[in-house]
Amino acid sequence: MHHFTYRDGVLHAEDVSLSAIAEASGTPFYCYSSATLVRHYQVFADAFSNTDTLVCYAIKSNSNLAILRMLGQFGAGMDIVSEGELRRARAAGIPAERVVFSGVGKTRAEIAHALEEGIFAFNVESEAELHAISEVATAKGATARIAFRINPDVDAQTHAKISTGRAENKFGEPWQEAPRLYALARDLPGIEAAGVHMHIGSQITRLEPFANAFTLLAKLVGNLRAEGHNIEFVNVGGGLGIPYHGEGELPPSQEDYAALVREKLGGLGCRLVFEPGRMISGNAGVLVASVIYNKETNAKRFLIVDAAMNDLIRPTLYDAHQDILPVNEALLAEPRIAQDVVGPVCESSDFLAKGRELPLMAPGELFAVMTAGAYGAVQANDYNSRLRVPEVLVKGSEWALIRPRQTYDEMLGAERFAPWS
Ligand code: LLP
């Protein structure tokens, strides 16, 4: 469900026409719908309304401060993976006690900063990290609440680049190591091992991998408790997939996912922590771009557009499909022709879609790449010295620039000549 629909023949974000925003801000730009974001957060939170839960939105999926503040106002906590993300959460007004810290390479400086802020918990990914946290906490006279990230070695049945719960992935510690690690943690100063964490991957479109992981998680909590560990919370990570094909197969609903969590973990009497990212921000955003040229060769027809892999890298990096809709609805009635939608970046890997059946679109015609709210703007860069594109937030009939377009002065001003040059 999202709030990008045609009205009077023009694609709108809530009550605002995307062509009006394009006229004011130029293209390309990211556009987010407040109503969609909040709805997704609330449906998820409501599914667990009678349970002690902490829903920590995965900042990495879309870290714009305006988005974080809005979710925070509805009670969301945050899942962070760097000091930068913690600073974003705090700048957006998120209380530190609603923050969990994931990631395999937290530095001592980052650990110290998170302890000073007083975050809820660290998701510990290795024995070496456990020792580092213990040392930093002890030096500060603090106690770090932790959950080991346990790698269950289950197949998340998703793209290899976003699968994290197999034994060969860098994430977490093998589940077989859990008894030894929790025993070690109990003996270390400055550590309170109060939880267990698992995150098996992203864009997971079937319940079965979750069911396998949760079954193991419940068993693990039972075993750890039998050994005298006080496990107060389980963190099941994120990963629930969303529909990228408008007419394609639907991933499990939040309600079905919630029912599975309750079935497998509800009886543990633990606080439930979640780290959803894409499920909240994914279809709350689109990337609006315009056509520069049409080009037809012996082999193919290309639609050359002003957005590129540096603005949205998902198709290039994960072979991701994202729907493309013309902003002008009348074009939908036109015959469709297979086209490669490509940007100006000098790489053959620069494309937004390959062989996509689309109506012919003339130079200047606007279109929207759908489902671009998660892992879109956050993965953008200025490769080929292309400016970072703006981000716009819509709420009802209002819209605001929540990140202006980078300027050439900003781009050039960020660098220095060496003193000897
Ligand atoms: N928790 C942890 C520890 C994670 O590593 C991630 C995502 C999440 C939660 C949130 O997962 P989500 O609910 O969004 O699936 N750039 C890729 C996705 C990378 C996911 C990284 N970790 C993409 O565009 O598909």
Pocket test for ligand 1, best of 37, 169, 202 (most atoms within 8 A of CB): 202
Position 414 pLDDT exceeds 90? yes
The minimum-distance atom of ligand 1 relative to the CA of 159 is 25
pLDDT digits (tens, 9 = 90+) for 225-244: 999 999 999 999 999 999 99
Q: What is the DSSP secondary-structure string of 11-40?
A: EEETTEEHHHHHHHH-SSEEEEEHHHHHHH
Shortest CA distance to 9 belongs to which of 19, 22, 24? 19
228 alpha carbon – ligand 1 mean position (Å): 33
Residue 160's pLDDT is 82
Q: What is the mean pLDDT of residues 72-96?
A: 98
Rounded CA gap, 127 and 131, in Å? 6
Residue 56's pLDDT is 98
Per the model's pLDDT, the better-predicted residue between 248 and 216 turns out to be 216
262 alpha carbon – ligand 1 mean position (Å): 22
pLDDT digits (tens, 9 = 90+) for 364-384: 999 999 999 999 999 999 999
The minimum-distance atom of ligand 1 relative to the CA of 276 is 13
Q: How confident is the model at residue 168 (pLDDT cuts 50, 70, 90)?
A: confident
Shortest CA distance to 235 belongs to which of 59, 99, 61? 99
Active site residue 56: no
Q: Please say whether the beta carbons of 158 and 205 come within 8 A.
A: yes
Q: What is the mean pLDDT of residues 325-343?
A: 98
Point out the least confidently predicted range of 91-100, 229-238, 241-250, 282-291: 241-250
Q: What is the mean pLDDT of residues 295-316?
A: 97
Q: What is the mean pLDDT of residues 274-281?
A: 97
The chain-wide mean pLDDT, for the chain, equals 96
Q: What is the mean pLDDT of residues 345-372?
A: 98
Q: Please say whether the beta carbons of 67 and 95 come within 8 A.
A: no
Strands, E assignment, 253-335:
271-274, 285-296, 301-305, 324-326
Residue 248's pLDDT is 67
